[in-house]
């Protein structure tokens, strides 16, 4: 098995002057290196690195010179692969072009009547605007603003509207029911549509709580309820309880105590219940009413606005939040087409835009987050898009800094190659795409996609935990990514 091409080897190869003639698997199109024999170590060939990773399935990549746009090296670059969360980089570009970097999502409290002597003579409506970052603290600020406006009581009903975007029960139906990264979608979303479940063992058994906690608040909720079941497995079960999410958890899995976030399947009711609790803390009692059937009108008593889109996208790319990606993408589609569309229809619209607007030939995305494994994108299309948008300077600054590792596998903050990129991970799928800058200042755009479909098909969707072999496969994929990056730096970096 070939040794990983670590920084130590990178430095040796760079100092000795990499020998192009000794390199295996020379690229079909190349700007560098000047072919000249040298003594000393050389960069391992790309095929040798792929073979050493032993990932099976398909490994494809493309690396391009940012200045000229020429392909420096590629392997199966035009083959469609599941891009996983690299999709979010495409979504970011789609949203930036459509909505603009300064776009802010708005969540409003609307009054359908006048406020007289502290009494709202009409309905109060909590109207969502697709904000992916709305949290309990933001709802608390809206409730406090309502009080500052002099409202002490509401004569009408309290209604909640999430129709700015279509409701989607899940992002990807193939995922386990209990995973927090696969919540429901609505035009009104709270705490990334997750509820906090906590349990503690006591003398009389377990006590459990479900709340909508944030930095400053922990309001209890009844919209999501948990029951402990005497069993070993499955760990969680879910059913629609009508007016609530009904969960059970296996007692054998609990231990002495712990906590986790669970997905919310009734996002509008969740946000509504939390707001009613927060309003009550200000002495404002609200009576629940039916949701509006159409986009509500009225006077805005209070408005919460998100951070500018650039900041929302930076966090989305850093933390790879799926809900944010879907809401941002669906909002952009609604802006482009003039109407809200389903997740799948919006993904098709974004795919059309990627093909026509970014030249991403063959792009076929089923969502905006990359959670769906049937999305397809080629490494060459991704690298070309990165070259195309480079000079605009909007994407690179919000990509994540990727810290490469030293010969011992430890993060190396002093590594001579800098990388800003988006990662993507599903079981037996690993991707990385972005920009790399080598010591002489040469900048390249690259995309690396690896997927083992046979291993994915063997996964038992009902089994708890990570599939056997997935962790080691992912580790080898990450090592291959760094090995290729270091190879390209040594060979094409001057």
Q: Read off φ and ψ for residue 445, nearest 5 degrees.
A: -105, 140
Is the pLDDT reported for residue 5 higher than 50?
A: no
* Band of pLDDT at residue 494, cut at 50, 70 and 90: low
Domains, the chain, in order of start with CATH, read 7-100+309-492 (3.40.710.10), 105-306 (3.50.80.20)
Is the pLDDT reported for residue 488 higher than 50?
A: yes
The percent of residues above 90 in pLDDT, for the chain, comes to 87
> CA 396, 416, 60: angle at the middle one, nearest 5?
60
Look up the pTM and report it.
0.91
* Band of pLDDT at residue 22, cut at 50, 70 and 90: very low
Is the pLDDT reported for residue 62 higher than 50?
A: yes
Q: How far is CA 352 from the centre of its chain?
A: 21
* Bridge partner residues of 302 (DSSP): 109
**Per-residue pLDDT at 204:** 85
Is the pLDDT reported for residue 19 higher than 80?
A: no
Residue of 241, 288, 300, 301 whose CA lies nearest to 266: 241
Query: How far apart (Å, rounded) are the C-alpha atoms in residues 4 and 476?
Result: 10
Point out the least confidently predicted range of 31-40, 305-314, 345-354.
31-40
Is the pLDDT reported for residue 41 higher than 70?
A: no
**Per-residue pLDDT at 125:** 98
Residues 276-286 have a mean pLDDT of 98
Is the pLDDT reported for residue 437 higher than 60?
A: yes
Point out the least confidently predicted range of 31-40, 161-170, 202-211, 306-315.
31-40
Is the pLDDT reported for residue 133 higher than 80?
A: yes
Residues 323-369 have pLDDT tens digits of: 999 999 999 999 999 999 999 999 999 999 999 999 999 999 999 99
**Per-residue pLDDT at 65:** 97
**Per-residue pLDDT at 461:** 75
Residues 374-383 have a mean pLDDT of 98
**Per-residue pLDDT at 463:** 74
Query: How far apart (Å, rounded) are the C-alpha atoms in residues 162 and 144?
Result: 21
């Amino acid at each position: 098995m070939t040794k990983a091409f670590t920084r130590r080897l990178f430095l040796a190869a760079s100092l000795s002057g990499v020998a192009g003639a000794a390199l295996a698997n020379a690229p079909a199109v190349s700007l560098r290196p000047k072919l000249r024999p040298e003594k000393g170590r050389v960069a391992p060939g790309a095929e040798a690195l792929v073979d050493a990773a032993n990932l099976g399935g398909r490994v494809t990549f493309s690396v391009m010179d940012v200045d000229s746009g020429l392909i420096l090296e590629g392997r199966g670059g035009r083959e469609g692969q599941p891009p996983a969360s690299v999709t979010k980089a495409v979504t970011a570009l789609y949203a930036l072009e459509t909505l603009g970097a300064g776009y802010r999502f708005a969540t409003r409290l609307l009054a359908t009547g006048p406020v007289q002597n502290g009494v709202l003579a009409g309905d109060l409506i909590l109207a969502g605007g697709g904000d992916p970052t709305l949290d309990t603290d933001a709802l608390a600020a809206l409730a406090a603003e309502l009080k500052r406006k002099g409202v002490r009581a509401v004569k009408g009903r309290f209604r909640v509207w999430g129709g700015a975007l279509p409701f989607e029960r899940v992002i990807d139906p193939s995922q386990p029911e209990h995973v927090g990264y696969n919540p429901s979608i609505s035009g009104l979303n709270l705490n990334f549509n997750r509820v906090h479940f906590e349990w503690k063992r006591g003398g009389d058994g377990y006590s459990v709580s479900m709340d909508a906690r944030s930095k400053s608040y922990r309001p209890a909720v009844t919209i999501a309820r948990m029951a402990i079941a005497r069993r070993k497995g499955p760990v969680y079960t879910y059913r629609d309880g009508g007016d609530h999410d009904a969960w059970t958890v296996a007692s054998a899995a609990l231990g002495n105590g712990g906590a986790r976030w669970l997905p919310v399947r009734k996002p509008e009711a969740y946000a509504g219940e939390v707001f009613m609790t927060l309003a009550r803390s200000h002495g404002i009692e609200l009576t629940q009413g039916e949701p509006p059937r159409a986009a509500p009108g009225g006077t805005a008593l209070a408005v919460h606005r998100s951070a500018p889109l650039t900041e929302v996208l930076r966090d989305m790319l850093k933390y790879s939040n799926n809900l944010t990606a879907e809401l941002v993408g669906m909002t952009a589609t609604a802006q482009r087409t003039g109407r809200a569309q389903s997740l799948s229809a919006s993904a098709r619209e974004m795919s059309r835009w990627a093909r026509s607007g970014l030249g991403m030939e063959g792009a076929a995305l089923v969502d905006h987050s990359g959670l769906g494994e049937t999305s397809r994108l080629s490494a060459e299309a991704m690298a070309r898009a990165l070259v195309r948008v480079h000079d605009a300077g909007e994407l690179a600054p919000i990509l994540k800094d990727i810290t490469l590792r030293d010969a011992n596998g430890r993060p190396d903050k002093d590594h001579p190659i800098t990388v800003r990129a988006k990662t993507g991970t599903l079981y037996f799928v690993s991707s990385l795409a972005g920009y790399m800058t080598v010591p002489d200042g040469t900048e390249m755009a690259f995309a690396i996609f690896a997927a083992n479909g046979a291993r994915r098909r063997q996964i038992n969707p009902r089994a708890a935990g990570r599939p056997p072999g997935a962790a080691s496969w992912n580790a080898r994929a990450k090592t291959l990514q760094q090995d290729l990056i270091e190879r390209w730096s040594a060979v094409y970096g001057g």
